[in-house]
Amino acid sequence: MKNEEKQSNPYALIPFGIFIILFLGSGILTGDFYQMPVLVALFAAILVALGMNRKTKFQTKVMQLAAGGGHPNIILMVVIFLLAGAFASVADGAGSVESTVNLGLSFLPPNLLIVGLFVIGCFISISMGTSTGTIVALAPIGLGIAQQTDIGVALAMGAIVSGAMFGDNLSFISDTTIAAVRTQGTEMKDKFKANFFIVLPAAVITAVIFAFMTSGASANVNASAPYTIIQVLPYLGVLIFALAGANVLLVLMGGTVFAGMVGLFLGNFGFAEYITLIGTGFTNMQELAMIAILLGGLVELIKQNGGIESLLQAVTKRIKTKKGGEAGIAGLVGAVNFATANNTISIITAGPLAKQISETYAIDNRRSASLLDIFSSSVQGIIPYGAQLLAVAGVAGISPVAIVPFCIYPILLTVSGMLAIIFQFPRNAVNRE
C-alpha cells in the first residue's frame, strides 16, 4: 500500500485569513463587531476553501467538510452547548439566577464578587472538565452581578472565561489534558504536578488583579437584595455534583431537571412552559453550535489542503536546542490553536510532532504534555472567534472582542508558560528521570 505523505501548502491557510479579515477586520474598520455576522464570515471562508485544490473532486471536498464538522469533539461540544443553554434558560425562569446573584450580594461586598466568580469558575471547570459548560452555566450569574453593581459586563465575563480556562487546563477529565498526556505518553498525575506550579502564580495574580480592578465597586441597590434558598439550590447542585466529578452531561441534565422542579414547585411556570424554556435554551445555542460545526469543517478542509502541515513545518524548522524545542512545542500548539479555534483538536494535531521534538531534545514527557495544554488553553481563552468567548458574549449581548482584555488568566498563563521555558522551572519536570 502506497504511503501518503502529508503535503505542505501555506496557501491553504488563505480561507482562514479571509475569515479573520471579514470577522475582525470589518469590526475594526466600522467600529461595530456585529456588522459582519460570524456565520457569514465563516461561510465565505468555506466557499473559498471549497474552491481550492482543483485536483480533488468537489464532492470529496464536501465530504471532508462534513467529516470535520462531525468530529466527535465538535459534536460533544455542541451537545454541551445545548444542555448548558437549557439549564441557563430553565434556571432563569425558576428565578435561580436572580436569587443566586442576590445571595452573593448579601454575603459578599461588591469588590469581592468578581474574585468570587473567578474562583467558583475555577472549581466548577476543574471538576467538570469543560470550559464551555462552565461558561454558559455561569454567564447569567456574571451578567446579573454586572447589572446590579457598577462592574462592567465585559469584566464580569472575562472573570468567568478566566476561571473556566483554569480548570480546562488542569482537570483530570478535561479533553485537553487527556489528549496531552496520551499524545506524549505520560501519566495524568505527573502532568498535573508539572503543570500546577506553572499555572498557580498566574491564577493567584489574576485574583489579585480582579480584586484591584473592582476595589471601588458598589451595588446599585440600597436595600438587601431578596433571595430564596430553594431557588439557589439548582446552581448549588451543579457545583456539588461537578466537584464530585460527575460527567458534565449528567451535571447539566440533572441541573435542568432540578431547576425545572424548583420552578414547578414555586409556581413560576407550568409544565408546558418548562418544556418551552428548554427549547428556548436550545435555540439560544443554535448559532454557536453551527459556528462550531462549520469551523470544524473549515479546519478539515485547510488540513486536507496542507495548511496545518505548513504551520507545523514553519514553527519547527528553526529549533536547535532543548529550550528552543520547548519554545517550539509552545509555538506549535499555539499556532495550530489560532487556526483551529479548538484547544483539544490543536493538541491532537500538534501532539505527535511535539512528541518527536521532545525525544530529539530530551524533553521530559511530563513537560511536553504540560506545555501543550498550557499554550493551547491560553490561546483558546483570548481568541474572539473561539467557542468560549462566543458563548459568553452571546449571553452578555456584547462583542467577544470587548471581553478579550479582561481575560486576565489566559493572558497571564501565556506569560507564566514563557517564563517557565526561559528559566526552566519547575526543575523536577525539566529533566528526564
Better-predicted residue by pLDDT, 88 or 277: 277
C-beta of residue 87 within 8 angstroms of C-beta of residue 137 = yes
Q: For cell 448579601, what's the residue?
A: 106
Query: What mean pLDDT, rounded, does the chain reach?
Result: 86
Tens-digit pLDDT profile for residues 260-276: 999 999 999 999 999 99
pLDDT tens figures, 229-240: 898 888 888 878
pLDDT of residue 224: 53
- Per the structure block, which three cell numbers stand in for 220? 446599585
Of residues 138 and 275, more confidence is placed in 275
Domain ranges of the chain: 73-286
Pair 53, 11: CB distance under 8 Å: no
The Cα 298–Cα 318 span in angstroms is 28
pLDDT at 428: 59
Q: What is the 3-state composition of the chain as percent helix, strand, coil, each rounded to the nearest 5?
A: 80, 0, 20
Taking residues 159-166, what's their average pLDDT?
Answer: 93
48-52, 54-58, 217-221, 284-288: range with lowest mean pLDDT: 217-221
Residue 125 has pLDDT above 90, yes or no: no
In sequence order, the 6+-apart residues with CB closer than 8 A to the CB of 231 are: 94, 95, 96, 98, 99, 100, 262, 266
Angle between the 110-128 and 153-170 helix axes, to the nearest 10 degrees? 30
Indicate the pLDDT class of residue 431, thresholds 50, 70 and 90. Answer: low
Q: CB atoms < 10 A from the CB of 111, how many?
A: 18
The yes-or-no verdict on residue 327 having pLDDT over 60 is: yes
Q: Positive or negative, the Cα torsion across 103, 107, 110, 114?
A: negative
Per DSSP, what are the bridge partners of residue 219? Answer: 149
Residues 6+ apart with CB under 8 A from 125: 131, 134, 163, 164, 165, 166, 167, 168, 171
How far apart, in whole angstroms, are the C-alpha atoms of residue 21 and residue 27?
A: 9
pTM exceeds 0.85 for this model: no
pLDDT at 34: 66
